[in-house]
């Protein structure tokens, strides 16, 4: 079977996610809300499994890391001291025609011919205004307007300084008329980029549309000129319209705490979980009695008012982060940066992501935060391109120093051995839960062939999740639903497994269909109770079942009593 293109593949993944209850659009019945998503019954299990595994390897299996669950709303000074209030922004531009907003740094450079217009005039209305300003007199001036309508404002500017008092009066009366009706003349400069091979008329069409939007209905364009342009990012890639100049757009959602909505009650929904860790550093240090190097881990929601949410859940406005702040001595920073990069790569491999689809990007000096001495981005080959899953950054002592300065409270560490006091440095692996979930779904999605009921090969959609993160670990099927002893045995098996894992019982439809439904949601194991289980054909097979493995579709005969240990060892 030919592999679907990347766009097709992504479309299939998005549709499977909705159809099988992994991810829904938020507020869908009201038309949704851009950049916000809800995880359905299977999505929530997958997400939990990813977070639980992160917590297990980052906290429970180590002596040097403890956890924290900080509040989402914090004192505004936290965001002032961290620099977020002043600098946590993306450059944004708006399309002058459609008002659609883009991130300036995400616009692909384009080449073509730029057509410039100095404005537009509705000539009929202009003449009506002229007649109103002069009570129908000054016909010589009226014909000058008709002849030079394309430069009406420069014509009027020349009257303004004319020694002819009558012309100066007409100028001021006409200007007053034009100001009272903005739909006659626009001197707003506008331009359109037309790709090679497209005619000048297409630029004029867009420009007329632009001026019509500004109220100039039957416009004649003014001052047209053109020029070839290469690699510009100043135009809307979708329609060629000029964009506004880039402006910084702060990504934090502002809110008010308490009953009054004024300056004193402002705070923000946190845009990262890390700051709670920095401001609780001293408390956690005291209660946990850890020595450097040690870390504080946290999983929680973060919010960013992204200009362009896109690629399904990849860039959302509400998402979850899994962050570790690993505090150390200054001289350990660079070495720990390498250590954490490797640890984090292992994590992704351990949840089933192939190393060949993970890339480590060394963030160049000019793109790194000024306080960082080294940053890696771990990227995954999504169907829409290689994109960041996680950042691993050596943030030096910047954050703790900023909070010490702003709060006036010491955030220093006292080294018992050397008797030195200093602000620890920190290495931060910061991963997105939603991006990891999307990556494991993209990685797991496969189409292959499997026999149907009659042995004929048919296309099978299968999510090859690593058993450790699969939403449902094992499905249990009685061969026939109307044979009471089969049903009773299957239910016994469900009760046996349930304390250890999430199990699904299914008795409806042909067994092949039931397998297929589980394959599509990534259930790694299927247990079937058949007549052999009841010992009807061979007493030696009593209390055995078939255990089917999702990927190979291989079936083994297993004693029911061995099922928990076999499955537990494979899903851990």
**What's the closest the beta carbon of residue 442 comes to ligand GAP, in angstroms?**
14
Q: Which residues contact 264 (CB under 8 A, 6 or more apart)?
A: none
Query: Does the footprint of ligand GAP cover residue 316 (CB under 6 A)?
Result: yes
- DSSP output for 314-334: TB-SEEEEEEEEEEE-GGGHH
Query: Does the footprint of ligand GAP cover residue 372 (CB under 6 A)?
Result: no
- Residue 330 has, within 13 A of its CA and on its CB side, a CA count of 8
Query: Does the footprint of ligand GAP cover residue 304 (CB under 6 A)?
Result: yes
Q: Is 273 exposed, middle or buried (0-12, 13-18, 19+ CB in 10 A)?
A: buried
Query: Does the footprint of ligand GAP cover residue 388 (CB under 6 A)?
Result: yes
Q: How far apart are CA 279 and CA 411, in angstroms?
A: 9
Residue with Cβ nearer ligand GAP (431 or 470):
431
Query: Does the footprint of ligand GAP cover residue 550 (CB under 6 A)?
Result: no
Task: Report the candidate in 71, 429, 90, 433 with the shortest Cα–Cα distance to residue 269.
Answer: 71
Query: Does the footprint of ligand GAP cover residue 315 (CB under 6 A)?
Result: yes
Q: How far apart are CA 313 and CA 468, in angstroms?
A: 22
Query: Does the footprint of ligand GAP cover residue 548 (CB under 6 A)?
Result: no
**What's the closest the beta carbon of residue 244 comes to ligand GAP, in angstroms?**
23
Task: Tell which one of 122, 306, 381, 443 touches ligand GAP (CB under 6 A).
Answer: 306
**Residue pointed to by tokens 């030096």:** 396
Task: Tell which one of 125, 344, 425, 435 touches ligand GAP (CB under 6 A).
Answer: 435
Task: Report the candidate in 354, 306, 397, 371 with the shortest Cα–Cα distance to residue 106.
Answer: 306
Span from 203-211, 312-320, 398-406, 507-515 in contact with ligand GAP (CB under 6 A): 312-320
**What's the closest the beta carbon of residue 375 comes to ligand GAP, in angstroms?**
9
Q: Which residues on adjacent β-strands are paired with residue 297?
A: 67, 324
Determine the angle formed by the axes of helices 433-444 and 41-55, rounding to 10 degrees: 110
Query: Does the footprint of ligand GAP cover residue 250 (CB under 6 A)?
Result: no
Task: Tell which one of 22, 117, 130, 319 touches ligand GAP (CB under 6 A).
Answer: 319
Task: Tell which one of 431, 462, 463, 474 touches ligand GAP (CB under 6 A).
Answer: 431
Preceding amide of 529 cis, omega within 30: no
Query: Does the footprint of ligand GAP cover residue 45 (CB under 6 A)?
Result: no
36 phi and psi, to 5 degrees? -130, 140
Q: Which structure tokens are listed for 288?
A: 């946990």
Residue with Cβ nearer ligand GAP (43 or 432):
432
Query: Does the footprint of ligand GAP cover residue 51 (CB under 6 A)?
Result: no
Q: Which structure tokens are listed for 512?
A: 């092949």
Q: How far apart are CA 218 and CA 103, in angstroms?
A: 33
Beta strands 474-478 and 503-505 are: parallel
Query: Does the footprint of ligand GAP cover residue 381 (CB under 6 A)?
Result: no
Residue with Cβ nearer ligand GAP (312 or 525):
312
Query: Does the footprint of ligand GAP cover residue 379 (CB under 6 A)?
Result: no
**What's the closest the beta carbon of residue 438 comes to ligand GAP, in angstroms?**
9
For the window 256-275, what string marks contact with ligand GAP as x by the rule CB under 6 A? ----------------x-x-
**Residue pointed to by tokens 């296309």:** 459
- Residue 425 has, within 13 A of its CA and on its CB side, a CA count of 19
Query: Does the footprint of ligand GAP cover residue 399 (CB under 6 A)?
Result: no
Report the interface residues with ligand GAP, using CB under 6 A: 272, 274, 304, 306, 315-316, 319, 321, 323, 388-391, 428, 430-432, 434-435
């Amino acid at each position: 079977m030919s592999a679907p293109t990347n766009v097709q593949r992504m479309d299939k993944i998005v549709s499977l996610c909705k159809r099988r209850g992994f991810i829904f659009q938020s507020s869908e019945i009201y038309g949704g809300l851009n950049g916000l998503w809800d995880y359905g019954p299977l999505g929530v299990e997958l997400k939990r499994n990813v977070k639980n595994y992160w917590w297990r390897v980052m906290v429970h299996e180590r002596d040097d890391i403890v956890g924290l669950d900080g509040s989402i709303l914090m004192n505004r000074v936290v965001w002032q001291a961290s620099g977020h209030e002043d600098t946590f922004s993306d450059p944004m531009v708006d399309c002058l025609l459609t008002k659609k907003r883009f991130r300036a740094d995400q616009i692909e450079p384009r080449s073509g011919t730029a057509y410039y217009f100095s404005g537009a005039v509705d000539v009929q209305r202009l003449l009506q205004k002229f007649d109103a300003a002069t009570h129908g007199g000054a016909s010589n001036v009226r014909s000058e307007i008709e002849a030079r309508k394309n430069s009406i404002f420069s014509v009027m500017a020349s009257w303004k300084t004319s020694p002819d008092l009558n012309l100066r009066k007409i100028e001021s009366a006409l200007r007053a008329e034009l100001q009272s009706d903005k739909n006659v003349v626009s001197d707003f400069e506008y331009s359109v980029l037309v790709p090679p091979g497209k005619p000048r008329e297409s630029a004029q069409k867009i420009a007329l549309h632009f001026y019509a939007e500004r109220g100039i209905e039957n416009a004649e364009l003014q001052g047209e000129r053109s020029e070839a342009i290469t690699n510009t990012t100043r135009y809307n890639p979708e329609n060629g319209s000029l964009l506004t100049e880039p402006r910084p757009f702060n990504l934090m959602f502002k809110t008010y705490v308490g009953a009054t909505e004024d300056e004193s009650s402002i705070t923000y929904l946190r845009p990262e979980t890390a700051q709670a860790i920095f401001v609780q550093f001293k408390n956690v240090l005291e209660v946990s009695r850890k020595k450097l190097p040690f870390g504080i881990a946290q999983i929680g929601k973060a919010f960013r008012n992204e200009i362009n949410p896109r690629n399904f859940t990849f860039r959302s406005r509400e998402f979850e982060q899994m962050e570790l702040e690993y505090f150390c001595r200054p001289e350990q920073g660079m070495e720990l940066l390498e250590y954490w990069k490797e640890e984090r790569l292992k994590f992704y491999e351990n949840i089933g992501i192939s190393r060949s689809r993970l890339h480590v990007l060394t963030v160049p000096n000019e793109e790194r935060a000024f306080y960082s001495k080294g940053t890696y981005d771990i990227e995954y080959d999504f169907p829409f391109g290689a994109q960041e899953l996680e950042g691993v950054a050596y943030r030096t002592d910047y954050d703790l120093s900023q909070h010490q300065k702003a709060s006036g409270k010491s955030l220093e560490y006292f080294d018992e051995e050397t008797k030195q006091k200093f602000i620890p440095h920190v290495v931060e692996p910061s991963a997105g839960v939603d991006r990891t979930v999307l990556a494991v779904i993209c990685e797991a999605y496969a189409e292959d062939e499997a026999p149907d009921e009659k042995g004929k090969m048919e296309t099978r959609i299968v999510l090859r999740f690593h058993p450790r993160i699969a939403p449902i670990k094992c499905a249990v099927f009685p061969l026939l639903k109307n044979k009471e002893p089969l049903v009773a045995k299957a239910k016994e098996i469900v009760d046996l497994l349930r304390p250890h894992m999430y199990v699904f019982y299914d008795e409806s439809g042909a067994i092949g269909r039931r397998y297929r439904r589980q394959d599509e949601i990534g259930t790694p194991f299927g247990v079937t109770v058949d007549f052999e289980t009841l010992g009807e054909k061979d007493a030696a097979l009593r209390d055995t079942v078939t255990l089917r493995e999702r990927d190979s579709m291989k079936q083994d005969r297993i004693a029911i009593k061995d099922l928990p240990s076999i499955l537990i060892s494979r899903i851990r």
